[in-house]
Amino acid sequence: MRIVFAGTPEFARQALQAILQAGHQVVGVLTQPDRPSGRGMKLQSSPVKQLALDAGIPVLQPRSLRLDGRYPDEARTAHDALQAMAPDVMVVAAYGLILPQWVLDLPAHGCLNIHASLLPRWRGAAPIQRAIESGDVVTGITIMQMDAGLDTGAMLLRVEIPIGPEDTAASLHDGLAQAGAQAVLQVLGQLDAQATLQAVPQPLDGITYAEKLQKSESSLDFSQPAAVLARRIRAFDPFPGTTMILPGLDQPVKVWSAQAWSWDDWSGQVGSATAMDRAAAPGTILRMGPAEIDIATADGVLRLTSLQRAGSRRQPVDVFLQAYSKKT
């Protein structure tokens, strides 16, 4: 089959690499335009573009695919190029642009999307992070036949992946990227063998939306329970990270890992919790050093275990406290 691949980040690059290694014919790649990145803000190609160029595959980078949108000339150029490629199927993974109807209709077998959740749960932009943040114990990959809606298409394959108690968005991303690559190979293999795919409509029950992450969500709110805060810290690693203010520092510090303790467990661990400890306002530092920072929350105690000052690197809390004590 003739395949066009549409994707941008590392999650998508792994799927494209698997498709190429399996011997499929990729006739073209769609990816986001180069973006400024790094300290020098130099233009950087996406991981998908870099792989495509290395493999000698034509790359298209329109800012929009809407023929009646803000960039009609770029959309028309992409339209003509895709028509000339005559794809049998398009594989889409974290592309970042909405596909208009003309794109969905172009390939003979339509467009297959690799989505990082068990649909219909966590449709939308940030399914990996929102699953961790919400305390889900399982997520997965859905291969979906795309339609005009937001992740609403019929499902061709679902693969479950457990979420471990220490999983961050980064570690879960890596597992899901590998699972997504293998899942789409399975579906492409069925198409290549001219098998009839059984597309199952998504159920109406259990629909949730994974809103795009905002930097405004970074600040830790200690009026929430410790368990909720610990999940958010894991969900926002590596982006956008979580922050808090420590006394004596003029800039917020990033919190990269933490443990949630119930009051009873924390009391047993530190020896005993006084009535004053239990009555402390959320955000109060209960213990600091030599190897812990314990903070009262709305329910339980949050123990910070990895921190980062502005201009520094991530550090275990004992290393962080050595420098912090000198500054305060």
Sheet harboring 138-145: ordered strands across? 59-60, 25-30, 2-7, 89-93, 111-115, 138-145, 154-162
**Can you tell me which residue has the tokens 């047993």?**
268
Single out the residue of 210, 187, 186 nearest to residue 199, CA to CA: 187
Single out the residue of 83, 35, 27 nearest to residue 61, CA to CA: 35
Listed by start position, the domains of the chain span 2-210, 215-327
Name, in order, each residue with C-beta under 8 angstroms of 290's C-beta and a sequence gap of 6 or more: 318, 321
The predicted structure's pLDDT at residue 150: 94
Q: How far apart are CA 285 and CA 273, in angstroms?
A: 13
Q: How far apart are CA 245 and CA 254, in angstroms?
A: 9
Q: Cα torsion at 70, 74, 80, 84 (round to 10°)?
A: -140
Question: Strand, coil or helix: what is 251?
Answer: coil
Q: How far apart are CA 291 and CA 321, in angstroms?
A: 8
| Domain 2-210 matches domain 215-327 at the CATH topology level | no
- The whole model's pTM is what? 0.94
Strand pairing class (123-124; 293-296): unpaired
Query: Which tokens belong to 192?
Result: 């290549």
**Domain 215-327 is of which CATH architecture?**
Roll (3.10)
Residue ranges of the chain whose pLDDT lies below 70:
326-328
The predicted structure's pLDDT at residue 210: 98
Question: Strand, coil or helix: what is 50?
Answer: helix
The answer to whether 187 touches 101, Cβ cutoff 8 Å, is no
Q: Which amino acid is at 212?
A: K
The predicted structure's pLDDT at residue 272: 77
Single out the residue of 252, 257, 259, 258 nearest to residue 312, CA to CA: 252
The answer to whether 135 touches 231, Cβ cutoff 8 Å, is yes
H helix runs in 106-225, sequence order: 127-133, 169-192
Question: Strand, coil or helix: what is 29?
Answer: strand
115 φ, ψ (degrees, to nearest 5) = -110, 135
The predicted structure's pLDDT at residue 268: 87
Question: Strand, coil or helix: what is 211?
Answer: coil
The answer to whether 145 touches 126, Cβ cutoff 8 Å, is no
Question: Strand, coil or helix: what is 49?
Answer: helix
Integer angstrom CA distances of residue 85 from 47, 67, 133, 282: 22, 18, 41, 60
The answer to whether 52 touches 29, Cβ cutoff 8 Å, is yes
- The answer, yes or no, to whether the previous bond of 240 is cis (omega within 30 of 0) is yes
Single out the residue of 92, 109, 198, 183 nearest to residue 142, CA to CA: 183
**Can you tell me which residue has the tokens 């500054």?**
327
Tell me which CATH code domain 2-210 carries: 3.40.50.170
- The answer, yes or no, to whether the previous bond of 62 is cis (omega within 30 of 0) is no
